[in-house]
Structure 1
């Protein structure tokens, strides 16, 4: 069968608008939790005066706990039996706890030492990420199993990610909000803003748990006893890492997203100290404008990506969109011009193709991989696949958080110097900002060029699975 074969979505495989909307609200909350903490953590350095290496450790260590807990929660969710389903109880509980912890973790009292702030925030961050895992891992798995159709999966993730992108419209303005005249200082602004974010997470996060309905999927029988369950868990992790197409998706995401995250970690520093000579208010406005403009273009990129992918395939669409984002990063170098700081905005439309297309395609492609895996292993393991995928992302984010602090040191940045940063420091900050995502995205293109699950292949896999399931059902009669 040709890889170019195109199949029409059957009516029974369509997801209703109500279900898509409820899931999309959950995606908004998922993105808000992922984006809010990195957007606010700069306050620890610029507001409380913490050493950038300590801030880097705060960005890295809690995510390691988060990454370790993800596969465990995925395994637990896959094997949960309850009257409310495998995913919904975790989504409901995780949203409430994560919202509460996020609101409390920023209520840092004034006048304490760096070790006090470091260890207080460390413990709070670990607790927050554990709660976030309880929400996010079953939520992501939920999206993988809502439809068996190749194209409807893309439409679902395009719709959900479009709504989820609204979080990125507001998050770039967080620093400008915290530095505004509404508050005494940025630390006070962070305290109040955290409460707002926590309430939104708690209220909207329970929407998919209440309004989405799970398919009646019977999980595999869990092994009895702690040791048996641990053995099954570790065996499943090993099997997952042997799935070639999945490893390629993880590698590409690790490179594209975390390259973007690491590069953007330096953007505010470049704006404050290179473009505006230490004026954080003007830098905050440019950061907000750039971030919001990028988010607006991403809102356009996501449905466009979905539309293109249903016509030329997911792999080809990835190669096109990520290539466009590389051009956007290159334009940023020219846009960093102190005489014309708002030239930076010209890069936003193309930069938007990076993460905007990435998660729209990857969510759909991992759904296909779950079918591929079932064909090989005779198991449905959306929870584990989603957990391992985000485990890779979060390990990368931990590494990015750590490298941000290290590279700031390498650049010679010193917050005490204010606008008097050395020319070499300002040059290296721009190199890190622009060069890192270009390099990582280019490597990701090479990886996905070898990805082999096409529409035709996915259709063949689904047909074989349905024949197998039908045969099993008959044998049980």
Structure 2
């Protein structure tokens, strides 16, 4: 059973560092990939969104297999580290290929996008699923898991935002901005180095803490038995409530990221330096969430705190885009107030990040709920199931972003300041409406999550008693 003792901060930092790769990947897929294949390579936004969604859903089916194999891995370094050491370098190579399609026709480029996207996402899973599965292994404490999970979000967002700062401040400073093909060469190289380096350094930094002989896995052999266990484990009631609720929040996240460049460049008309300020604002929101989540969780519990934060995020998102539609944004539409936008985004995003921190910590608590039912600890499988849903959600969100652009009649090769106001209004309206509908659906489901601090602690006592009786 994982210890309830507070973990050293150095271990938390090394553990969180591994999520830099996930943040860089999310930044690339959600912020730049759509606009790269659409505005740089000239493929229709709806087609690109559809291909990315198909690739991510196809790739997502590998996640439960990766989680189950990770749970079954037998080595002197434990169940997780071998995956981190093996996948890091191939991940960097495939990432470079994703942003460097060879000269070919549109059909060939679409196939290239699909294949490299599947491979890149699968390799990220081989790093992220074993890494995050260490959380419930490192600590069984209800609140310490939240404190540890914060570091994953802090470093994950830091990795993505650092690449965003590099992109807006260094790589895309020319006249073409994020439509400059040359900028993507430097972007892809540096992001690949960050992904590979962070995974390897994180694994080495945790090695002495987690490199122990894998516990015996008294399970049957054969592919059929493995799939039967996957089905039984992922049928856990708490897991199903949590992933169903998270699905809607993560669709919103994928939608928001995919439309980021369109909103910043065309709706809010940010200049290059203001793009950098925006990245700093986003990182500030992660720090705010990092600070406020533990006291909120301690006072209200994880579920109730997550619901409160979700409502706050939705309210301020509606205030921002509702103000645009009602002509209440100072200076809009020709010169909208950046300070007005920054203020509302700071509150909305701080709450959204805090909500996702709490929901990830709730997933760690599902491990013992399942263990009590099945007698198995399946950390890797549960988080792989969570990532399966997340990838599907991000793909759906990216697809929805492409559809919103199509419905808004948003032009290709658009120039900031020259887009018709009707198209901008359509972008704001469809985005706001989608976020609110999906957010309310997610909250209505999350209310049914059954694990509280009290039930978790009681479950730990029961499992410890059973373990002592068996020894």
Q: Which of 326, 336, 340 is residue 336 of structure 2 equivalent to?
A: 340
Q: Distance in 1 between the 2:247 and 2:275 partners?
A: 24
What are structure 1's unaligned runs of at least 5 residues?
A: 1-9, 277-281
Which residue in the other structure is 1:5 paired with? none
Q: Distance in 2 between the 1:364 and 1:317 partners?
A: 12
Normalised to the residue count of structure 2, the TM-score between the two structures is 0.89
Q: How far off is 1:96 after superposition?
A: 1.6
Contact 1:145 1:367 in 2 (8 A): no
Q: Distance in 1 between the 2:98 and 2:300 partners?
A: 46
Contact 2:254 2:396 in 1 (8 A): no
Q: In the TM superposition, what whole-angstrom CA distance separates every residue of 1:217-243 from its partner, at most 9, and x where no partner exists? A: 51423433xxx3x22232223223421
Q: Distance in 2 between the 1:216 and 1:298 partners?
A: 36
Q: Which moved more, 1:31-40 or 1:415-424?
A: 415-424
The 5 A counterparts of 1:299-338 are 299-333=287-321, 334=323, 337-338=332-333
Which residue in the other structure is 1:206 paired with? 200
3-state DSSP of counterpart to 1:83: coil
Q: Distance in 2 between the 1:239 and 1:107 partners?
A: 41
Q: Which of 240, 244, 248 is residue 251 of structure 1 equivalent to?
A: 244
Matched, 1:451 2:449: yes
Q: How far off is 1:422 after superposition?
A: 4.6
Q: How far off is 1:205 after superposition?
A: 1.0
Q: Which moved more, 1:358-367 or 1:17-26?
A: 358-367
Q: Residues 351 and 12 (structure 1 numbering): CA distance in 2 closer, same or farther, change over 3 Å?
A: closer
What are structure 2's unaligned runs of at least 5 residues?
A: none
Matched, 1:400 2:397: yes
**Number of residues of Structure 1 aligned to a counterpart in Structure 2:** 454
Q: Which of 156, 175, 179 is residue 164 of structure 1 equivalent to?
A: 156
Q: How far off is 1:268 after superposition?
A: 2.7
The 5 A counterparts of 1:92-241 are 92-109=85-102, 112-173=104-165, 176=168, 177-181=170-174, 186-212=180-206, 213-214=209-210, 218-224=215-221, 228=222, 230-241=223-234
Q: Residues 129 and 189 (structure 1 numbering): CA distance in 2 closer, same or farther, change over 3 Å?
A: same
Matched, 1:409 2:406: yes
Matched, 1:265 2:258: yes
Contact 1:173 1:284 in 2 (8 A): no
3-state DSSP of counterpart to 1:13: coil
Q: How far off is 1:354 after superposition?
A: 4.0
Q: Residues 375 and 417 (structure 1 numbering): CA distance in 2 closer, same or farther, change over 3 Å?
A: closer
Q: Distance in 1 between the 2:397 and 2:419 partners?
A: 23
Q: How far off is 1:349 after superposition?
A: 2.0
Q: Distance in 2 between the 1:239 and 1:191 partners?
A: 45
Q: In the TM superposition, what whole-angstrom CA distance separates every residue of 1:404-437 from its partner, at most 9, and x where no partner exists? A: 2233222222315656655443222111322222
* Runs of at least 4 residues off by over 6 Å: 182-185
Normalised to the residue count of structure 1, the TM-score between the two structures is 0.88
Q: Residues 420 and 30 (structure 1 numbering): CA distance in 2 closer, same or farther, change over 3 Å?
A: closer
Q: How far off is 1:377 after superposition?
A: 0.6
Which residue in the other structure is 1:374 paired with? 371
Q: Distance in 1 between the 2:180 and 2:336 partners?
A: 27
Q: Distance in 1 between the 2:92 and 2:5 partners?
A: 34
The 5 A counterparts of 1:28-47 are 28-41=20-33, 42-47=35-40
Q: Which moved more, 1:462-471 or 1:29-38?
A: 29-38
Which residue in the other structure is 2:360 paired with? 363
3-state DSSP of counterpart to 2:138: coil
Contact 2:167 2:187 in 1 (8 A): no
Which residue in the other structure is 1:279 paired with? none
Matched, 1:296 2:270: no
Contact 1:154 1:310 in 2 (8 A): no
CA RMSD of aligned residues (A): 2.5
